[in-house]
Structure 1
């Protein structure tokens, strides 16, 4: 009986099956300038669902954020749509309760002039401009963090290089990956942890289209980030 059990266990491990609890993730997309359904509802949801890592719920309806978050472990915010007061409060309550946040490419912009608290406290800054879409090299600068585990130290992407700037009044960030503008000393963070007091928050500035979403390093970073913010 014991031999049979261990054989089943070994087979499950070899097949990539995980006995860990599936992480409940809410992806909030929708808005302008991106194909949210293709890259967030489609590609990223598939990446996170692979091997049973996550149970993913996707919505373009920002009015539903508060209702969905009641049963979620992680919020993956990837929208530039308006978010009403109830949704805004739910996001901050979620973070205050120690739940994990992934803030994706569209959500790292200064989208909400009437909600400065979001960029200051949850993003610790943001972007107001970016380079023209094109190829550039990403470099992992902290290879010891769980989010960067198994990711090549350097890899090429095609994306919009976000000009992220830190807010001096924010909690601060710890940079995990960045990119340098060719021929200059200008470096922009692209994957970083926000030093929030209660929540684990990972920001990923990459993600305009297939130039990032279809890359194995991006997919690995995303899966690692969700596991880390969910404390798994």
Structure 2
């Protein structure tokens, strides 16, 4: 008799749990799912593990904004593209595989999101000019000596929302130059060195006909990755690229 009563109680509790879960799910119908991000790092002149794999992953996953997988192995990119919302490239090591290169372009042509950061905005690959021409809209072949400079927000946009109108940081000021023959860019923020009057794009949108692409020229080490303005720009960029802003 006791066993029968216990079974009835257990069944009743199970129903309550299932019903409660259903009610909770229905009460939060607009709850956002975490953005699926593949962050690709690796190469020279930067501590990719510390500042991209650790710091940027932590920044993006805070509050459940994104679910981030990091890789420094370009051969792992291709099989993951179908299962992500945003491809975040920070690498300056080669992506040599032709199929992977074609798949990245197909990813963009499918209207997906890309965030291209600091090392990935360089003219890294002479044998892959289409990357800079079509996905970056230009590139950098030089930068100031590491040191302080000011970043100024020049255009209101979801990517720059919540960012101060100007801020200081220590970084490598990239001499990013748009390619007149490439995909046009829309500059959202500029950088100016203290020792020069020259101004360069620092945060921008690449106006690809289908993809949502953000370029972020900042990001050498701790003095960019750990400050509020950079982290806000990065989170905004991933949200916008994913179509959530």
Q: TM-score if structure 1 supplies the norm length? A: 0.91
Aligned to 1:22: 34
Contact 2:148 2:193 in 1 (8 A): no
Aligned to 1:126: 139
Deviation at 1:86, TM superposition (A): 1.7
Q: Does 1:160 align with 2:172?
A: yes
Q: Secondary structure at the match of 1:32?
A: coil
Aligned to 1:35: 47
Aligned to 1:138: 151
Aligned to 1:5: none
Which is higher, the Rg of structure 1 or of structure 2?
Answer: 2
- CA–CA separation in structure 1 for the residues paired with 2:100 and 2:121: 17
Q: Does 1:66 align with 2:78?
A: yes
- CA–CA separation in structure 1 for the residues paired with 2:157 and 2:236: 10
Q: Does 1:113 align with 2:126?
A: yes
Aligned to 1:198: 210
Deviation at 1:82, TM superposition (A): 1.0
CA-atom RMSD in angstroms:
2.0
Aligned to 1:82: 94
Deviation at 1:184, TM superposition (A): 4.3
Pairing partner for 1:180 from 192, 197, 207: 192
Q: Secondary structure at the match of 2:77?
A: helix
Count of matched residue positions in the alignment of Structure 1 and Structure 2 = 220
Contact 2:204 2:214 in 1 (8 A): yes
Q: Does 1:103 align with 2:108?
A: no
Deviation at 1:183, TM superposition (A): 5.7
Q: Secondary structure at the match of 2:63?
A: helix
Residues 78-123 of structure 1, C-alpha deviations (whole Å, 9 max, x = no match): 0011112122111101100000000001100000000000000011
